[in-house]
């Protein structure tokens, strides 16, 4: 009991010391990153660079998935991380971009502390035969202390160096290692347990802003005098969070150490290794889950009396089906991105098959809808149809809005505050189909403006109810699924799929989103050149997604740093030089 109290006191004191510096470091990182970006005006050396200059340096918070994936890589996938993060605010179409402008509340900090404490306890867990749990300490701590009941600086140093390098995404300075070893020693001596000291260090590391925040640190670019670039470790982090949705692995940090990332050939080799890794699926899933707004599945509920087929398993599998389709189409088969909206190939599970009304087998199996099926592309999958619908009815408006905003990067204005929804929510029974009800609703000119933007393509999906099940009729009336999309007319959902496939903004939207995701924040006019160049290159590559990833990841712009528009003057007043993180590690 006594030792437990001591342990808690030790943890509190250690964590408090870290938290005290946390805010300061975060602020320092931000301001110094800004100062780094603007230290010197970028020089234009070639036409390519002129069009495709670079990105601004940012500080962003790890997303929950990135934190989870990082912990899983370092300590094992069986570590229970919990849910310590508050939700991110969708910014410029992506949650990931919201991570670049997010604060950490006191409540969230408490959650993070609990999570860190729990993870640390799991890392040093000695296991239990009775509970069939493994001794994690035996394989996560790379050495055995001479005496388990006492401090062991040599072993602690080995652990701190190995784990710290992965968590901080760069080697720790000798001074920092010494600090951690000292903390571990104090904890071990106070608690008479080597592993208790290690746990305190792990908890402290996990709470360190330098771990939780992904700060772009910059340095002068010797290839382009007068300009700045990401330092090798920040570049490694940017690559890893972009492609794998996790912190760099051991090899990538070695590549950063070796200078490989700063030669075009070396960077291409590194990127190719990352693209060939199975972890690219994790990164691809993370991006598309974000772009498609699939976090909304967490709140999706359907009226069981109206859609009894829509079970919890159906909802879970609907999300997974789309992710499997995306991964298979874009990565496994390396197909044209546009074909995702016309493909009939997907995967089927028993829970989904009841909605699609097709036979299947247990588990996930590849499935292809016949050529004459109305199931064509992602828009006709249950995920899209059910996510963009009401709990008890379909919604052409939601579906059209999502199509424009999520997939074409267009903006649909919100409804006016005084809009009258009564025609839709308490409709005239003679108005049997959604088309009829919306026509009546659009009779109000206040409503007509926006609905003209969303409804013509949303109505093409009316053959699918709010659960995504096919229907030829609504309340006994035949459904007219004709529509149009930006000047292209069609008679049914097959035409909509083709119109999406051919829409020029379909691919340019993907480019925008991927580039934004890759560089860690919303785009600005400074990125226009890059986007233009990438759009052209993406087309030349046959709209292959891996090619787009490679283009971005191997480009100079990916590590070149430019000043954000409008910040030049303010930044000129700040001090230029190496960022705090860079200074520590070099």
Partner 1 sequence: MKNLIQKTAFAAVVMGGFGMATTVASADEAVPGLQNRTIGYVLTSANWGLYQTPDGKQECPDGFNEGPREQFKALYPNLGTVDGTQLERESASRYPMDKADNFPYHDVKGKIGIGLNLDGKVGENDFTSTDGEKGIDNNLYRAIGCTRLFRAPDGTYANFTDLWVREMNFNRVLVELTNVDSLTNDPAVDVTIYRGRDKLMTDATGANIMPGGSNRVDYRFGKNFITHMKGKIENGVLTTEAADVHWPWAVFLGRPGAYDFKGARFKLALTGDKAQGLMGGYSDIDTWYMQLVRSWSTHHSSYGGLSQPSFYRALHRLADGYPGPDGKMTAISSVLNIKMVQIFIEHEGQKVAAASDAKAKAAH
Q: Contact residues for partner 1 (CB under 8 A)?
A: 302, 304-305, 307-313, 348, 350-351, 353-362, 365, 367-370, 372-375, 463, 470-472, 476, 479, 481, 492, 494
Name residues whose C-beta falls within 8 Å of residue 368's C-beta, 6 or more positions apart in sequence.
344, 345, 346
Cβ 307 to partner 1 shortest distance, Å: 7
DSSP three-state, residue 232: helix
From the list 485, 285, 304, 314, the residue with the least C-alpha distance to 385 is 314
What is the chain's Cα-based Rg? 27
Cβ 355 to partner 1 shortest distance, Å: 8
Check: CB of residue 493 under 8 Å from CB of residue 394. Answer: no
Output the CA angle 84-90-93, nearest 5 degrees. Answer: 140
Q: What is the CB neighbour count within 10 angstroms for residue 360?
A: 17
The backbone torsions φ and ψ at residue 107, rounded to the nearest 5 degrees and listed phi first, read: -60, -40
54-71 in b/e form (b: 16+ CB < 10 A) is bbbbbbbbbbbbbbbbbb
CA distances from 520 to 95, 165, 187, 203 (A): 10, 22, 37, 26
Instruction: Round to whole Å and give the CA distance between 435 and 424.
Output: 11
Taking the CA atoms of 323, 329, 332 and 335 in sequence, report the sign of the dihedral they define. Answer: negative
From the list 185, 289, 271, the residue with the least C-alpha distance to 235 is 271
391: left (phi over 0), alpha (psi -120 to 50) or beta: alpha
DSSP state of 568: H
Cβ 308 to partner 1 shortest distance, Å: 4
**For the chain, the helix, strand and coil percentages under 3-state DSSP, each to the nearest 5:** 60, 5, 35
DSSP state of 491: S
Beta bridge partners of 59: 215
480-500 in b/e form (b: 16+ CB < 10 A) is ebbbbbeebebebbbbbbbbb
Cβ 382 to partner 1 shortest distance, Å: 12
Instruction: Count the alpha carbons within 13 Å of 444 in the hemisphere toward its beta carbon.
Output: 16
Beta bridge partners of 484: 489
Cβ 224 to partner 1 shortest distance, Å: 56
Tokens at 506, concatenated: 């379909």
Burial class, 321, CB count within 10 angstroms (exposed 0-12 / middle 13-18 / buried 19+): buried
Judged by beta carbon, residue 370 or residue 445, the one nearer partner 1 is 370
- Give the pairing type, strands 228-230 and 218-220: antiparallel
């Amino acid at each position: 009991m006594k030792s437990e109290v001591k342990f808690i006191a030790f943890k509190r004191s250690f964590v408090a010391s870290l938290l005290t510096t946390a805010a300061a470091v975060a602020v320092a990182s931000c301001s110094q990153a800004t100062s780094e970006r603007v230290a010197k005006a970028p020089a234009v050396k070639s036409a390519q660079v002129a069009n495709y200059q670079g990105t601004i340096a940012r500080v962003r918070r790890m997303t929950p998935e990135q934190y989870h994936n990082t912990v899983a890589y370092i300590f094992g996938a069986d570590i229970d991380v919990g849910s310590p993060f508050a939700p991110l605010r969708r910014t410029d179409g992506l949650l990931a971009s919201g991570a670049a402008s997010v604060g950490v509340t006191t409540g969230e900090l408490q959650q993070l502390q609990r999570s860190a404490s729990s993870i640390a306890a799991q890392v040093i867990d000695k296991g239990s035969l009775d509970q069939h749990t493994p001794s994690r300490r035996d394989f996560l701590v790379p050495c055995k202390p001479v005496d388990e009941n006492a401090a062991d600086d040599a072993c602690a140093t080995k652990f701190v160096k190995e784990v710290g390098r992965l968590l901080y995404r760069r080697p720790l300075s000798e001074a920092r290692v010494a600090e951690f070893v000292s903390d571990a020693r104090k904890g071990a001596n106070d608690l008479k347990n080597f592993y208790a000291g290690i746990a305190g260090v792990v908890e402290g590391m996990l709470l360190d802003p330098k771990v939780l925040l992904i700060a772009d640190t910059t340095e002068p670019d010797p290839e382009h005098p007068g300009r700045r670039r990401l330092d090798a470790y920040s570049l490694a982090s940017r690559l890893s969070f972009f492609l794998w949705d996790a912190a760099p692995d051991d090899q990538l940090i070695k590549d950063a150490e070796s200078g490989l990332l700063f030669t075009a050939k070396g960077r291409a080799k590194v990127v190719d290794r990352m693209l060939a890794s199975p972890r690219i699926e994790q990164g691809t899933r993370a991006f598309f889950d974000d772009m498609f707004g699939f976090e909304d599945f967490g709140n999706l509920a359907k009226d069981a009396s109206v859609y009894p087929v829509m079970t919890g398993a159906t909802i879970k599998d609907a999300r997974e089906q789309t992710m499997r389709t995306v991964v298979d189409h874009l990565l496994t088969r390396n197909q044209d991105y546009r074909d995702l909206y016309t493909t009939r190939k997907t995967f089927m599970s028993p829970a989904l098959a009841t909605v699609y009304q097709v036979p299947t087998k247990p588990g996930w199996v590849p499935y292809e809808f016949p050529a004459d099926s109305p199931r064509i592309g992602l828009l006709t999958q249950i995920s899209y149809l059910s996510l963009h619908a009401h709990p008890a009815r379909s919604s052409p408006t939601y579906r059209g809005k999502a199509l424009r905003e999520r997939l074409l990067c267009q903006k649909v204005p919100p409804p006016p505050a005084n809009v009258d929804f009564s025609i839709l929510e308490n409709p005239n029974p003679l108005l049997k189909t959604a088309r009829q009800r919306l026509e009546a609703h659009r009779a109000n000119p206040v409503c007509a403006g926006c609905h003209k933007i969303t409804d013509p393509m949303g109505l093409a999906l009316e053959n699918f109810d709010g659960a995504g099940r096919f229907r030829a009729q609504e309340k006994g009336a035949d459904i007219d699924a004709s529509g149009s999309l930006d000047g292209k007319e069609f008679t049914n959902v097959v035409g909509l799929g083709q119109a999406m496939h051919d829409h020029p903004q379909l691919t340019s939207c993907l480019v925008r989103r991927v580039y934004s995701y890759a560089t860690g924040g919303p785009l600005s006019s400074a990125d226009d050149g890059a986007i233009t160049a990438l759009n052209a290159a993406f087309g030349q590559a046959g709209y292959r997604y891996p090619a787009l990833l490679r283009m971005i990841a191997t480009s100079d712009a990916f590590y070149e740093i430019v000043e954000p528009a409008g910040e030049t003057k303010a930044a000129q007043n700040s001090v230029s030089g190496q960022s705090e993180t860079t200074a520590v590690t070099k």
